[in-house]
Structure 1
Amino acid sequence: MSQRKAFSAPGKALLAGGYLVLDAHYKSYVVALSARMHAVVAVSHEPRDDNVLTVSVKSAQFNNNQWNYEVRSSDGYKPRERDGLSNPFIQQVLTTVCNYFSSTVISHNCISIDIYSDPQYHSKENTKLVSNGINEFYFHTMDIQNVPKTGLGSSAGLVSVLTTALCSVFKPDLDVENKEHVRMIHNLAQIAHCQAQGKIGSGFDVAAATFGSVIYRRFSPEVISSLPSLEDNNIAELQRTLKDTVDNVDWKTTADSVNFPPGLKLVMGDVNTGSETVKLVQRVKQWYVDNEPKSLDIYNEIDANNIRVIALLQELNELTKTRPEYYNKMIESLGRGEISNYPELCALRTAFHTIRKNFRIITAESGAEIEPDVQTTLLDNCETLDGVIAGVVPGAGGYDAIALITGESTDVETETNDREAFQNVKWLKLQQAQRGLQEEVASSYDNLF
């Protein structure tokens, strides 16, 4: 067994840019989260008579789920699972990465990958907390597909960290501090994620998983839709096109790294009801078409305030350098619930209010419950808490979660404890994170099972 390597990728919250992120005309603000997906990879060389690569992916956390694949260069690395199990995300990562590295794949013949997810990604019902003193994970009694998720981007994180782990096998000098290496991983992960989902999404979740917190503008969908499908008679063409798409094509995307302002933090609350994002998106798209040009006016007002949010967060960062005393007093006042004397904080709250107002209009007219009444009431109640600037239903909205911008010292959990208005919220133990992909110490995952 060769030396092991380990990598992790963060979750995400789309703080500004819901729905508009699907259109390349608009920018969004994506916050990476401290909850991370992990992969530990090892390679061995076993004597065989054929050019077959075996890949074992194990998730001990979820009822010891395991997928055992064989892939062959002769059929374009289509994964064949030994027991007939299906996991489209793992399968598409295997196909995409192996075809990209087609010239070096056959020199490796046995890859083992262990995957882990931090506690915040899934429901904690029927679990056991296991810790080795370095990492701790919840172990579930159910298979992974049967465990409710909290909507933090687990599939994008899984695809991104699996892509990184496999790339490290075929490219031993892989360095997640190298911008070109990370760009390669990002492009491969976007392709695999879209193909696994059967649709070309905006990609903000994969961007956050690879790059960390970013100002994001989506890639051109044609970059992926123009890739040839994998057929037995076009393997060489697919491999050439895939490599060119990853290495040379201009994706026309923006993913500029950002820092959340010092003294502020993002607080996520799991409302534990769940929404079907695909149906919400379909309804909003239909509403947009049926209501032009009014729908364009609404989108433009949302966009103007998204840009305002982005500018204000950047302005707060600048204030820490240009007016540090003023900034520190502002943060202290925020902790006491006193923001009226600080135009920057008032403007940030107003921008979020305007975004929410417009999404409530879309909710009422489209039937897509982006900000349903129960979430409106909850967010309004949250804004009465000391230290809370504003709140939103992140991403596609619905009943999944809420996100609050608060002061760093604000303890929302204590403030809301035993209060009926907040009884349906579980505050997640996470915070914003700047970094995307990270290499970890492989031994820090030992003795977990």
Structure 2
Amino acid sequence: MEVVASAPGKVLLTGGYLILERPNAGIVLSTNARFYAIVKPIYEDFKPESWAWAWTDVKLTSPQLSRESMYKLSLKHLTLQCVSSSESRNPFVENAIQYAVAAAHAVLDKNKKDALDKLLLQGLEITILGCNDFYSYRNQIEARGLPLTPEALAALPPFTSITFNAGESNGGNCKPEVAKTGLGSSAAMTTAAVAALLHYLGVVNLSAFSEDPHQQNKDSMDLDVVHMIAQSAHCVAQGKVGSGFDVSSAVYGSQRYVRFSPKVLSAAQAAVEGMSLEEVIGNILNGEWDHERTEFSLPPLMTLLLGEPGTGGSSTPSMVGAVKKWLKDDPEKSQETWRKLAEANSELETQLNMLSKLAKEHWDVYKCVIDSCSRLKPAKWMEGVAEPVKDELVKVLLKAREAMLGIRNHIRQMGQAAGIPIEPESQTELLDATMNMEGVLLAGVPGAGGFDAIFAVALGDSSSNVANAWSSRNVLALLVREDPQGVSLESGDPRSWEITSAVSSIHIK
């Protein structure tokens, strides 16, 4: 028996920094970039005498990193012990394994526990694969002398080996840095591993979500269990309770999100104080999860684009620390900026929802307006618009732009006051140029900002022009698009089917 589950990466469109505090909301879009976890037994059968063993084997493989680690899992304490060299540890998957197995123990009744133990005694072999979109391949493209275009990215084989920036390696023992694109790889990886394990161990059944993704009942108990376990494992691996939007979108897909109270996970952090892991998991599953999640996706005929400027990534934790310090040191001024930013975020959300509503009610007019605006610079969108519905639509588009400019303005003020580059000058120039291109509705820095990436939302067919314009400015347009689906059960190893789908999905203009 083999189980393959996947979970998407994310782009935080609005709510950077604010999302850390309730009741501020953020809009997070899930993407077609996914992490896959493949779970199968190591041994075909278990030997009858193996009941006497208190340990079982776990093998964790990351082919892209050329890493393989062996562990022993204690069937009594549900803890993992690494028995291979420790430099290739993956705390996210390690915690996913411990928490998923503990959840199986906490949830399954007595007569299912025998079957669970038999399954565990066959060992667990777990393979982790991440789509190329999570990692930066800019250096490889430049090294091959290829242009910085999406086509050059698409030409890379799926699940390409990840190169380390190990220039300063002394004897190969320092921790290599992987260049990432900021799509939330750790959350997607943790969620995929938790989902695959919980399904494999019989705790949840994810089949329903995969047969018809559009009929996903996102209020399912099974998804809620995946969410709670993945949030806990991710927080413990990170060593802190974050806002959790990245894990929530990895589980449920695109959404408007308000964080849970951090105290829900204090049980997970208190695990060291002598509580068994099974008890800890029981508390987490019965905790007061008070996050809010509303379905959200971009209005029709709009494309999310991500660009990698190649100025090197930014450290999110240190930027968050600087903003928190500013909030504490200058409460009056910071609260004012914070409030204005929250208002601008809310305004953008209102206009995007309005566009989705108008698209439903006046599809033909909507299509026509999006089509004509996709070929014009925003300053010309209003020209020659006479019909009332068209007029209303264009006004809503322009209000959405206005809100985005407001968001960017407040984010820059916040960055200057906190002494960090949330929207650095180089990005400001690039974003201004992007927002003035034909057919571009929005452009900004996602999430915590910095030098990681920029996003744009383009109307109709204008996305290929944006990608070309970016390329001429030394910005690599990634292949990432919005895909509102969350966690999913897959029909097999993605390495066997990625090859055909990658070829069919790329259109070279």
TM over 0.5: yes
Alignment partner of 1:264 is 2:308: no
369 and 418 in structure 1: CA distance in 2 versus 1, 3 angstrom threshold: closer
User: Deviations for 1:403-449, whole angstroms, at most 9, x for unmatched residues?
Assistant: 11111311145541663xx22x1100121011011111114434999
Alignment partner of 1:278 is 2:351: no
Match of 1:170 among 182, 201, 216: 201
Q: 2:353, 2:412 → 1: CA distance?
A: 27
Supply the AA of the counterpart residue of 2:159.
F
- 1:113 match: 126
- 1:388 match: 440
Alignment partner of 1:205 is 2:205: no
Q: 1:123, 1:306 → 2: CA distance?
A: 29
Match of 1:152 among 183, 198, 217: 183
Alignment partner of 1:432 is 2:482: yes
Q: 1:418, 1:16 → 2: CA distance?
A: 25
- 1:17 match: 15
Counterparts of 1:297-316 in structure 2, within 5 Å, are 297-316=336-355
Contact 2:96–2:233, Cα closer than 8 Å, also in 1: yes
Counterparts of 1:401-420 in structure 2, within 5 Å, are 401-410=453-462, 411-413=464-466, 415-416=468-469, 419=472
SS at match of 1:317: helix
150 and 375 in structure 1: CA distance in 2 versus 1, 3 angstrom threshold: same
Deviates more, 1:84-93 or 1:378-387: 84-93
Contact 1:18–1:394, Cα closer than 8 Å, also in 2: yes
Shift of residue 73, structure 1, vs aligned partner: 3.2
User: Deviations for 1:379-401, whole angstroms, at most 9, x for unmatched residues?
Assistant: 00111211111211010000000
Deviates more, 1:113-122 or 1:74-83: 74-83
Counterparts of 1:43-54 in structure 2, within 5 Å, are 43=41, 44=43, 45-47=45-47, 48=50, 49-54=52-57
Match of 2:423 among 354, 371, 383: 371
Supply the AA of the counterpart residue of 2:477.
W
Identity, % of aligned positions: 28
Q: 2:305, 2:272 → 1: CA distance?
A: 46
Shift of residue 113, structure 1, vs aligned partner: 1.4
- 1:66 match: 68
Q: 1:219, 1:267 → 2: CA distance?
A: 29
Q: 1:434, 1:55 → 2: CA distance?
A: 33
173 and 361 in structure 1: CA distance in 2 versus 1, 3 angstrom threshold: closer
232 and 69 in structure 1: CA distance in 2 versus 1, 3 angstrom threshold: farther
Alignment partner of 1:101 is 2:114: no
233 and 338 in structure 1: CA distance in 2 versus 1, 3 angstrom threshold: closer
SS at match of 2:356: helix
Q: 2:73, 2:328 → 1: CA distance?
A: 44
- 1:234 match: 275
- 1:183 match: 224
Supply the AA of the counterpart residue of 2:194.
T
Supply the AA of the counterpart residue of 2:296.
V
User: Deviations for 1:309-335, whole angstroms, at most 9, x for unmatched residues?
Assistant: 111111111111112232112201221
Alignment partner of 1:219 is 2:260: yes
- 1:137 match: 159
SS at match of 1:193: helix
Shift of residue 231, structure 1, vs aligned partner: 4.5
Contact 1:79–1:91, Cα closer than 8 Å, also in 2: no
Q: 1:327, 1:447 → 2: CA distance?
A: 36
Larger helix proportion of the pair = 2
Match of 2:25 among 24, 27, 33: 27
Using the size of structure 2 for normalisation, the TM-score is: 0.81
Q: 1:417, 1:393 → 2: CA distance?
A: 15
Alignment partner of 1:123 is 2:161: no
Supply the AA of the counterpart residue of 1:445.
R
Q: 1:417, 1:266 → 2: CA distance?
A: 14
SS at match of 1:229: helix
- 2:86 match: 84
Q: 1:81, 1:401 → 2: CA distance?
A: 38
Larger strand proportion of the pair = 1
Structure 2 segments unaligned to the other structure (5+ residues): 107-112, 145-150, 167-174, 210-216, 383-393, 500-509
Q: 2:68, 2:130 → 1: CA distance?
A: 15
Specify the structure having the higher radius of gyration (Cα).
Answer: 2
Structure 1 segments unaligned to the other structure (5+ residues): none
Q: 2:73, 2:192 → 1: CA distance?
A: 20
Q: 2:130, 2:350 → 1: CA distance?
A: 33
Supply the AA of the counterpart residue of 2:301.
G
User: Deviations for 1:73-100, whole angstroms, at most 9, x for unmatched residues?
Assistant: 3334243343334221122112222222
Supply the AA of the counterpart residue of 2:485.
R
192 and 418 in structure 1: CA distance in 2 versus 1, 3 angstrom threshold: closer
Q: 2:467, 2:425 → 1: CA distance?
A: 25
Q: 2:203, 2:21 → 1: CA distance?
A: 37
405 and 447 in structure 1: CA distance in 2 versus 1, 3 angstrom threshold: closer
- 1:5 match: 3
SS at match of 2:458: strand
Contact 2:59–2:71, Cα closer than 8 Å, also in 1: yes
Q: 1:389, 1:101 → 2: CA distance?
A: 47
Q: 1:25, 1:433 → 2: CA distance?
A: 26
Supply the AA of the counterpart residue of 2:329.
D
Supply the AA of the counterpart residue of 1:72.
S
Supply the AA of the counterpart residue of 2:400.
L
In the comparison of the two structures, how many residue pairs are matched? Answer: 436
Q: 1:30, 1:161 → 2: CA distance?
A: 18
* C-alpha RMSD of the superposition: 2.5
